[in-house]
Chain A
Amino acid sequence: MEWGLADVKPAVLAVLAAWAVGLSAGARASGRLAPPWRAIARGVVLFLALRILFVGNPWAWSVYEANLRARHVGWRQMSVIREELRSFLRPPRGVRFLAVGSSQTDALYDRIAREREDLRVFGLAGLFPLDFVLYQDRIAEYRPEVVLLYLSEFDLARVHDAERAVLAPPQGLRLVRLSRTVLALPGGERYRRALVEMAVGQVFPEYRFGFVFRGLVRKIQGGDRVEARAAPGEGPVERVPRDVFEREIANLRAGMSPEQIDFNLPFLREFLETCGRWGSRVVIVEGRLAPGVPDEAMRGLNARAVGELRTLDARYDHVVFVPLAEQPPIGEDEWVDASHVTREAGRAWAERMLASLE
């Protein structure tokens, strides 16, 4: 990510300056205290200084973004690193379309977003409806006219990794309400530990971002955390071998449940309502998977998911649902793996899709 000092939010610079002044004053003042308070005060100053140095400024995140890859930290974590860096920078102006979603969204819109000033992508690997709510403040900074969502049973019915919730930005007191909502929903108990970790992560960003430092050590060690596949945005993406493709299909089919749709829908509705309050319209484009992936059970989940999305279209004036039949086609040979299209296919599809929306 290319950026300069002028791109940093003025508020960030002001906060950093305030921290610098505050910490130096704290260090000087601690010298006047009697032991053991002196040691405690110095410890607190050192702890906070390290926090600002390692996770509290854009330069540190720039270093992490430049030096880490998905194979060191994981797909979602790499997305989080980029998003954390971006959060220190001024949001782009004049964003007409903001594509929000998972790596599928990234695969579709990434190329064309580099050509159009009015289109931006807020893509995090594995992003799903609960994340829409957790990241809504970051999404709101773009002030988009239109929020583009790409949703199917892949997003609504898949059992998502609860541990990823820890990586979300601080929620403040909203975490209490969200926790109650999550735990009350079907399958929400799975998130109990993640919610506790989120609370710890809010107070201790070192805990939340521990994966960065573990990833740096892993890089030094020469080890990989996940399969050494490039994550979206990390360069050329090659078509996966047949055996990997088959494994992905099996995993996808095994990792879906109708209960998850009941879990995800309330958060999707909340996000849609929040978009409405911003004054943004929402276009929900029906998502799809590579041919041959859905079996009968997944087709059933797809029918339910599409039905729910149509209901949302009917319920909210600012929401439009675009089914598969109204979208540009994607060919059988245009898939990298079970759920992601090639960058070229994504660009072609997105260009026609945006033209139809305009």
Chain B
Amino acid sequence: MVFNSLLFLAFFAVVYALYAGLSHRAQNRMLLVASYVFYGSWDWRFLSLILASTVLDYFCALRIEGVEGPRLRRFWVGASIAGNLGILGFFKYWGFFTENFRALLAAVGVDAPLPVLEVILPVGISFYTFQTMSYTLDVYRGEMPAHRGFLDFALYVSFFPQLVAGPIERARRLLPQVVAPRTISRERVIEGLWLALWGYFLKCFVADNLAPIADGVFSEAPPENAGMVLVGLYAFAFQIFGDFAGYSSIAIGIAKMMGFELMTNFRQPYLVTNPRDFWAHWHISLSTFLRDYLYVPLGGNRGSRLKTARNLSVTMLLGGLWHGAAWNFVAWGAYHGGLLAIHRTWKGLRGARPAPGTVVRALQIVAMFHLTCLGWLLFRATSLDQAADLLRTLALGSWGISREVARSLFDVAFFATPVILVQWLERHREDVSVFVRIPEPARVAAAVLLVEALLVWGAFGGKEFIYFQF
């Protein structure tokens, strides 16, 4: 049941109507049932996994708090991590590791018939396993107490707006909102509706209309024109942003309508000037998770430059692998790790400098956008071979502006311009809910334009969100 489907709209209408009329306790129970129905609509068999992950971390957290001595506490947090990563590892990485292990053995002349399993990847597994792990880790660190109410905890894990593609919510932020009564205010409903409308615009107008251009470049017959490859990267950059930020916006919006405040997951990531800022503005819930639970425990930036570079690289490598069981994702993570390490080193060597002027800043934004697009080439490629081919075309191919290139560039500009404008407005006003705060005539015009654009150009084929595959 994807957000961009009539079935989901009908589902949410029923859920919201019930929600608005129930007491707090009944709301939580109803939301829990609704969340399991939502998740089970993909495949009812997935429900056992999310239930297993929920039960595991519920009990591990209680044991962490209930036992004496650091060894036992470490044991229970280890059990939680092992259990969650075990589930994730089996369902997501079994094929990848066995295939590569077999290839490695074959390279040294050993033929090892390892079991081949057709494992279905449960949707959202990367998100909710990280979410529940963050809970046990926070309890272990003493940052929050273990929660005794199992049903409320289960709702925290399975809360349907953010279950399958984030934001990855920390328990100390979301769990109290589950536990405490919530208010549905008119302001929240309006703001939530705006966020949802913008999210649908990003998904159905921007992402799904740019997808064919990107798919054409990353197809089995990729273009030989470097300009077309670049246009395809632009298209994918806005496709993945529209897709992922669109999902997050819808999730945050419908949660807000129910009185929940989810974290902002994107803050104008294509208007940044350096790699560090990119990761502070893109998929913020994942980057902060990796920072708090991997980078900092590894040592963060507290050691030498070399150690910091190592910590950055390991974090980004694993961050890349989180996205998918394929070498191109690892390459993408390594690429961003390299960018971060280089940026950090260069900053350290350069020292403090005054803030750049408008023109320099604009050039930095354009440069960083293109560096990001290069990373997206690795991310979107179906294999390392395809990535290499496309890089070769970019470097050595012809840059002639053919009719096809010009038309595709026009399309990218047409669908991406509203995104850039709104992003600029959000940055200028330092407000991600910018639609709610602009003057009324502009607000009315914007709402009508968004709806008209969705009706005329919206692709409502129920095309899945890219991040569902993670």
Tally of A-B Cβ pairs under 8 angstroms = 46
Question: A204-239 vs B: 1/0 string, CB under 8 Å?
Answer: 101100100110010001110000000000000000
B448 and A210 form a contact (CB under 8 A):
no
CB contact between B456 and one of A35, A39, A42, A206 (< 8 Å): that residue: A206
B residues in contact with A66, CB < 8 Å: none
A residues in contact with B29, CB < 8 Å: none
CB contact between A50 and one of B414, B443, B452 (< 8 Å): that residue: B452
B residues in contact with A36, CB < 8 Å: 186, 190
User: Restricting to B397-438, which residues have a CB under 8 Å from any CB of A?
Assistant: 403, 406-407, 410-411, 414
**What interface size band does chain A fall in?**
20 to 34
How distant is the Cα of A130 from the Cα of B323 in the complex, in angstroms?
Answer: 47
Say whether, besides A217-B414, A221-B410, A204 and B444 are in contact (CB < 8 Å): no
CB contact between B455 and one of A43, A210, A217, A222 (< 8 Å): that residue: A210
How distant is the Cα of A134 from the Cα of B457 in the complex, in angstroms?
Answer: 25
A residues in contact with B414, CB < 8 Å: 217, 221
Chain A interface, DSSP helix/strand/loop, else mixed = helix
A206 and B452 form a contact (CB under 8 A):
yes
CB contact between A210 and one of B403, B406, B440, B457 (< 8 Å): that residue: B457
A207 and B455 form a contact (CB under 8 A):
yes
A residues in contact with B18, CB < 8 Å: none
How distant is the Cα of A47 from the Cα of B410 in the complex, in angstroms?
Answer: 27
Chain B interface, DSSP helix/strand/loop, else mixed = helix
B residues in contact with A240, CB < 8 Å: none
CB contact between A38 and one of B403, B407, B440, B448 (< 8 Å): that residue: B440
A39 and B407 form a contact (CB under 8 A):
no
A214 and B410 form a contact (CB under 8 A):
no
Answer yes or no: B451 CB below 8 A from chain A CBs. Answer: yes
CB distance from A228 to the nearest CB of B (A): 12
CB closest chain-A residue, reference B461 = A193
Write 28 A-B pairs (CB below 8 A) sorted by A numbering: A35-B440, A36-B190, A39-B440, A39-B443, A39-B444, A42-B441, A42-B444, A43-B444, A46-B444, A47-B448, A47-B451, A47-B452, A50-B448, A50-B452, A196-B6, A206-B452, A206-B455, A207-B455, A207-B458, A210-B455, A210-B457, A213-B456, A213-B457, A217-B414, A221-B407, A221-B411, A221-B414, A222-B407
- 10 A-B pairs closest in CB distance: A210-B456, A206-B455, A207-B455, A221-B410, A43-B444, A223-B407, A42-B444, A46-B448, A213-B456, A47-B448
- Chain A residues engaging chain B, CB cutoff 8 angstroms: 35-36, 38-39, 42-43, 46-47, 50, 196, 204, 206-207, 210, 213-214, 217, 221-223
| 5 extra interface residue pairs, beta carbon distance < 8 Å, beyond A42-B440, A47-B451, A222-B403 | A36-B186, A39-B444, A204-B455, A214-B457, A221-B407
